[in-house]
Amino acid sequence: MSSQRILTGYRPTGKLHLGHWFGNLQNMLDLQNKYDAFYFLADWHALTSDWADTSKIRTYTEEMVLDWCAAGLDPDICTIYRQSDVPEVAELTLYFAMVTPMSWLERVPTYKEQRDQITDKDLGNVGFFEYPMLMAADIAILRSGLIPVGEDQLPHLELTREIVRRFNNAYPAEPPVLVEPKAVIATEGARVPGLDGRKMSKSYGNSIFISDDAETICKKAMTCLTDPARMLKTDPGNPDICPLHQIHKLILSKEDCFQWEEDCRTAKCGCVAHKKAFGSEMAEYYAPFREKRAELEKQPGFAAEVLANGARKARPIAIDTISACREAMLLDPFGA
Ligand code: ADP
Ligand code: TRP
């Protein structure tokens, strides 16, 4: 196992879906055995969009810990913590606010995209605007070099690198105070489509959740978009642009995948039959997860204990980084 530190975070704004599972969680499972892995629940990030109704953030945080652990993250191997338990993140965000030009934040594509797509929440607040800067602070505070994320997060990673570079240039030290991170992207599933063909996202109402019961998974499968040009069962389809097949593919063996593609292109199999097979195979795929999840639910205080232990490991690193930042910025020690 390498001593190199890796880090990633999820916003506790809802349940885990297949996009998380294939886009990122599989990478996180693998990497926990290879690196010193830090995984956190970004509850302040949830606040940037859900500030008007904070009632669910804590529940989602606890549920996500259970989901993560049921999926196979092992709190004895990796560190699982909550962002707000490491307040040094807020201090570093403040310092980043000094070195980050507003234009850098204005041009982050996810900002405009989410302002356009999410219309049921007031996202005109400063906190949402500076979301990527808060993310940069999450990464920099633990000085982690590798960041496993889905493809949608790449612009945020690029911005983080720019902010870190600007900070290190403004406040030089040897070695530089902050580390420039690199993204680790899943080879398959870097962008899992949702039931409607857009990116699967809990904000878009197009998700299959991994905690959905078998019946719900099968029902949702029947609503999934397929190749829109294929009107009749006798029309040949194109699996490359079929969202159903793009998701199904993630659990298929190479041979089965090839067979489904053949049957679609030659109109041997219709979309309804494909949806049925997809639903029942997905439901079966998640059966062991549901069992483990039910077991963890029976252990009172499990999530709280995991987070308390995680904070004990993350905080000293954050304190060390923030001290180095203050020193480089000539803010500390007082009177020196
Ligand atoms: P959401 O978009 O549902 O709110 P998050 O922002 O909490 O999800 O995402 C947490 C992690 O999961 C990020 O690394 C993100 O890139 C990844 N992820 C989320 N949705 C998908 C998807 N549809 N495909 C691939 N990766 C995804
Ligand atoms: N921005 C990420 C998302 O929307 C969540 C996140 C917050 C994150 N801070 C992070 C991911 C730091 C990786 C590293 O999913």
Give the domain ranges of the chain: 2-191+300-328, 213-285
- For the cut 80, the answer to whether the pLDDT of residue 2 exceeds it is no
* Residues lining ligand 1, Cβ inside 6 A: 10-11, 13, 19-20, 23-24, 149-150, 152-153, 189-192, 199-203
Amino acid at 50: D
Using DSSP bridges, classify how beta strands 79-82 and 182-185 pair: parallel, antiparallel or unpaired.
unpaired
Q: How far is it, in rounded angstroms, from Cα 318 to Cα 10?
A: 19
What tens digit of pLDDT does each residue of 114-153 get? 888 888 888 999 999 999 999 999 999 999 999 999 888 9
User: pTM value?
Assistant: 0.91
Task: Locate the ligand 1 atom nearest the alpha carbon of residue 150 and give its number.
Answer: 16
Q: Ligand 2 within 6 A of 9 CB?
A: yes
267: left (phi over 0), alpha (psi -120 to 50) or beta: left
Q: What is the mean pLDDT of residues 36-53?
A: 96
- For the cut 60, the answer to whether the pLDDT of residue 336 exceeds it is no
Q: Whose CA is nearest to atom 15 of ligand 1?
A: 150
Q: Ligand 2 within 6 A of 245 CB?
A: no
Q: How far is it, in rounded angstroms, from Cα 75 to Cα 73?
A: 6
Q: Ligand 2 within 6 A of 202 CB?
A: no
| Secondary-structure class of domain 213-285 per CATH | mainly alpha
128 half-sphere exposure, CB direction, 13 A CA radius: 16
Q: How far is it, in rounded angstroms, from Cα 262 to Cα 257?
A: 9
- For residue 252, the model assigns a pLDDT of 94
Task: Locate the ligand 2 atom nearest the alpha carbon of residue 10 and give its number.
Answer: 5
Cα end-to-end span (Å), the chain: 41
Domain pair 2-191+300-328 / 213-285, same fold: no
Report whether 75 contacts 39 (CB < 8 A). Answer: no
Q: What is the mean pLDDT of residues 66-75?
A: 97
Q: Which ligand is nearest to the CA of 23?
A: 1
Length of the chain: 336
What is the rounded average pLDDT for all residues in the chain?
A: 93
Q: What is the mean pLDDT of residues 306-319?
A: 98
Cα 173 to its chain centre, rounded Å, is: 32
Using DSSP bridges, classify how beta strands 79-82 and 36-41 pair: parallel, antiparallel or unpaired.
parallel
Structural fold of domain 2-191+300-328: Rossmann fold (3.40.50)
SS3 79: strand
Bond preceding residue 316 cis, omega within 30 of 0: no
- Least confident range from 162-171, 182-191, 208-217, 324-333: namely 182-191
Query: In angstroms, what is the span from residue 150 Cα to ligand 2's centroid?
Result: 10
**pLDDT class for 301, splitting at 50, 70, 90?**
very high
Task: Locate the ligand 2 atom nearest the alpha carbon of residue 42 and give its number.
Answer: 7
More confident of the two residues 80 and 211: 80
